[in-house]
Amino acid sequence: MIPELSKPSVIMRDRQRVEEMIQSMHRAGPGGLQVISDFDMTLTRFAYNGQRCPTSHNILDNSKLISEDCKKSLKELLNKYYPIEIDSSRTVEEKLPHMVEWWTKAHNLLIQQKIRKDLLAQVVQESEAMLRDGYKEFFDHLRDLNVPLLIFSAGLGDVVEEVVRQKGLFHSNVRVFSNYMDFDENGILRAFKGQLIHTYNKREGALLNEAHFHELKDRHNVLLLGDSLGDLTMADGVQNVENVLKIGYLNDKVEERKESYLASYDIVLERDETMDLANAILRHVS
Ligand code: TMP
Ligand code: MG
């Protein structure tokens, strides 16, 4: 049905179930579909030529807007908390307080840097932000089909938006839920807006945005793309769900985490730096 399902990087615990869901989504057509995608390491690449690619946080952290001391502190936080984020031997409940701590400390460090809003675009331009191969087809096809794309990110909303805007992809069907910066009247970062979103509280973030999902209440099929087990709850706010086809990028600690990814994602993409499968599914559904 979809040749891309047979790529060596594509693994599934129940291929038949996946094919049934895709068939059902095909019958309902693009008018019944909405797409919810994580940003960092899902729409963006994990690695390129053996080098890790930056997250939205890293784009800012590595920039000239951050002092050397602060860079060091942010790096220490990453080294301490990222292994916890991806540790398959701990439960989500065990990870939660650590994630809140990481995000709170990182946001506070950024606030201390008095970041200027008017320099963000330049910082993104000079960064090594990299979207996955096939990203343009993905965004453009969703626009052409009039299918809403929700980018749901625990990263930095202002940076995510700027990356998408600079690639010319911020079409009218795209919305972003994320952590947004609050600037003072001089355009200097003074706080973050709203409730903090971290890797493992996307369910709460989704439920807070009821109005968005209400608007899309006639779209019963969801294509969900993520790279963390925390991303699985991004569709929890969707109303009248029929199918949620969950695609998970397994980028890091592949052997260790494969079993848990296969148990919770319908399709697991192992070290796959492309949007090929999502694009193939969208072609089939349309
Ligand atoms: P995502 O929800 O768009 O994937 O964004 C969350 C990622 O951001 C998560 O994988 C960890 C990463 N992150 C950093 O790289 N640096 C930081 O300081 C923080 C708080 C998170
Ligand atoms: Mg991610």
Residue 56: which of 142, 148, 131 has the closest Cα?
131
pTM for the predicted model, two decimal places: 0.97
CA–CA gap between residue 247 and residue 244 (Å, rounded): 10
Residue at 212: amino acid letter: H
Is 41 near ligand 1, meaning CB less than 6 Å away? yes
Check pLDDT > 90 for residue 84.
yes
HEC secondary structure over 56-86: HHHHHHCCCCCCHHHHHHHHHHHHHHHHHHC
- Mean local confidence (pLDDT), 2-8: 96
User: Ligand 1 center to residue 199 CA distance, Å?
Assistant: 7
Check pLDDT > 90 for residue 1.
no
Q: Which ligand is nearest to the CA of 78?
A: 1
DSSP letter at 117?
G
Is 177 near ligand 1, meaning CB less than 6 Å away? no
Residues 6+ apart with CB under 8 A from 101: 81
- CA dihedral angle for residue 116, residue 121, residue 127, residue 129, rounded to 10 degrees: 120
- Mean local confidence (pLDDT), 31-43: 98
ipTM of the complex: 0.97
Ligand 1: residue of 41, 42, 57 to mutate (most ligand atoms within 8 A of CB) is 57
What is the per-residue pLDDT for 244?
A: 98
Q: Which of 14, 40, 182, 276 is catalytic?
A: 40
Tens-digit pLDDT profile for residues 129-155: 999 999 999 999 999 999 999 999 999
Tens-digit pLDDT profile for residues 88-107: 999 999 999 999 999 999 99
Write out the two tokens for 177.
Answer: 């839920």
> Per-residue confidence at 21, pLDDT binned at 50, 70, 90?
very high
Check pLDDT > 90 for residue 228.
yes
Q: In whole numbers, what is the pLDDT of the chain averaged over residues?
A: 97
Is 154 near ligand 1, meaning CB less than 6 Å away? yes
Residue 114: which of 163, 183, 59, 192 has the closest Cα?
183
- Mean local confidence (pLDDT), 34-41: 98
Q: Closest ligand 1 atom to the C-alpha of 230? A: 2
**Catalytic residue status for 38:** yes
